[in-house]
Structure 1
Amino acid sequence: MLSFRTFGGVARPFATLGLLGLLAVSVSACSEAATEPVATVRPVKVVEIAKADATRELQYSGSVKARTEMNHGFRVAGKIVERLVDIGDKVNPGDVLARIDATDYALAVNTAEANLMAAEKQVETVRLTQGRAQELFGKKFASQAQVDEAQLVYRQAIAARDAAASSLQQAKNQVVYTELKADRRGIVTAISADTGQVVGVGTPVASVAVDGEKEIQIAVPETDISHFKQGQAVKVGFWTDDQLRLAGKVREVAGSADPQSRTFSVRVSLGDDPRVLLGMTATVEAAVATRRPLASIPLQALAEKDGKPIVWVADRDTSTVHARAVTVADFAPDGVRVAQGLQPGDLVVAAGTQFMTENLKVKLPDATLSQEEQPVAMQATSALR
């Protein structure tokens, strides 16, 4: 009995140790299984590079202006006593825009009239003197020298009378010039002087945009100015109405760059369309041939590595992605134009590039996106995040 209990008492610890050993082996096996790497396969959106574009669109914005804008100023100096127009008023030829004080100019007319009257009296006097000298010469009581002198005095009186008449006409013109009138039909765009202000000859008082042909002025950098030629046809769109698109023509290309912005001024003329209003914002579009074909990709497909632009290209055979350096030509509203680094048929990751690593295993879609479907691919970034 005693030996049985002793055996039983010894047997329990051995059984417990065996059970603990089995648990330790199981835990070790689980930890080894947990440390084994699990391959990550990430689904991606891709676009297939089509044949590169042989042309590209240049777009520049500007505002609609009148082809001719006139700065009206008085032809005489004086104090403005009345302004008859405001900004936005439509004017016709002969409409009075403003008036200056005409008191002094009216007095000048009175003086000129008096001078003319005196000159005419002088002409009558010397005419009588000339006639008397001619009569005395016929009777041998006057010499030829006296006759010649009388004729000379008469001619001087005639010249003085003509000068007085011209001075009178000039004085009358200055009275007329105290009214500032519109020369052509248009709309007032600016007021530079107001009632009570003393202005000099030619000082701008009101600006009038002449009705008729309109134009758009754009600033083009020197890298693209060679693509704009006088007479070149362009397309013009307007921010206020996407459906409003007109044909334009390059009217003028500046021969030198602006010293501050280093851009060239280009003026594009438009027809007289009532839908186009002065001051509207317009976009000028010109299709130009590229020196080398450009491939288009979505903006989300462009990434950066070591400070240089790259894209992630998917390999159809291995379903892995690889970084490829590219040369960006320019940015367009629909994405990025790439000059070098891509070939037709390449599969470019269109979204989620921040998750890509070299040789990452990816799941390609059953059908790749065409370039017409690229906007759909651009919306996939949030889904990948």
Structure 2
Amino acid sequence: MQTMQSKRAPETKSGAPYDVKGAFDDFMGAFEAFKDANDTRLGELETRMTADVLSTDKVDRISKSLDAQQRKLDELLLKKARPALGRSSEVGASEHKDAFEAYVRSGDERGIRSVEAKAMSIGSGSDGGYLVPVETETEIAKRLSVLSPIRSIASVRQVSTAVLKKPFALTGPATGWVGETAARTQTASPTLAELEFPAAELYAMPSATQALLEDSAVDLDTWLSDEIELAFAEQEGTAFVTGNGVNKPKGFLAYDKVAEPNWSWGSLGTIATGAAGAFAATNPADKLVDLIYALKAGYRENASFVMNRKTQAAVRKMKDGDGNYLWQPPAGVGQKASLMGFPVVEAEDMPDIAADSTAIAFGDFARGYLIVDRTGVRVLRDPYSAKPYVLFYVTKRVGGGVQDFSAIKLLKFATA
């Protein structure tokens, strides 16, 4: 159970909050130290066929430090990206927002009932609850886009129904060449099928004391968004990657996987590394190249790598034939690291490198994965179940699944 509390801004070594530039400089410094240490390790491998234990430990230690710097930078960027949600000082505040605030602070339902009656909307069935103001819902969606790695690269569609049905063509219409005056024969009709994306209910239940709710200095919009954004983002992040589709979105790793030569619609194609639970001992980066070119050219333009932090640490040590590191740090503050020229999206719900795991995904996720958000975030106030705290049962409906099976490929750590 989470309770309302003040949140301090992170401080850098200089004591200045949100020193993003300083954190970025620290990160780049750590990467240069990592390259030097790893070059020494690789040199020992070439000359002595084995690396000194101290050199290996140093590389691992600096790599962990680099990960820590990346986390710190991500946290600072997230804080900076969060939009201000302070209540407007304008006299003409929205009727819905004022009524919603009265409901959250004191449980007074009269105003919010009146507003929703005018809008011809009702609570969420037997669970009750009321819609949050549009401004608050919009800010929650913006914050989730920053926090949730897959949401940041996938297509997102707002719907007003429980299920989004999307038709697609299994086969296109027949075509052919014909002379200017030659007769045209009737072409075959395309074969259509339908994908369904049901929206499942996602909930969070933050709590606060009544005394704090009665404090007019407390910004309820900011508090509510802060309390639920992390809970929603963590649940979403897992579901979009590994969710089984039962009362939750279906993650892209939950679909059938087949070797790329045997790929067919409805499954995701895989490229094997050639070694169980590892990259190949020689020319390991060759399989990354194969993964990239398993995608058709039209998908590669906007493609990204998706992997977790441990896998990224392993890839970070790789070099090309000219001695250049394949993994490169962000070119600037707020940008993504890159691998072989493509952005790297860090998703901690991706599996670690292990036998038969698909620890790296590559594709155009905007075309490949669809997230469905049902309009409306609802709040039910409960002052009785956890006295002296007031609970807020917050729900939203989210669905998701693969919409284009040609757009995502997976690297499988297996012999075949």
Higher relative contact order by CA 8 Å / sep ≥ 6: 1 or 2?
1
Global fold match (TM > 0.5): no
Please state which structure has a larger fraction of its residues in helix: 2
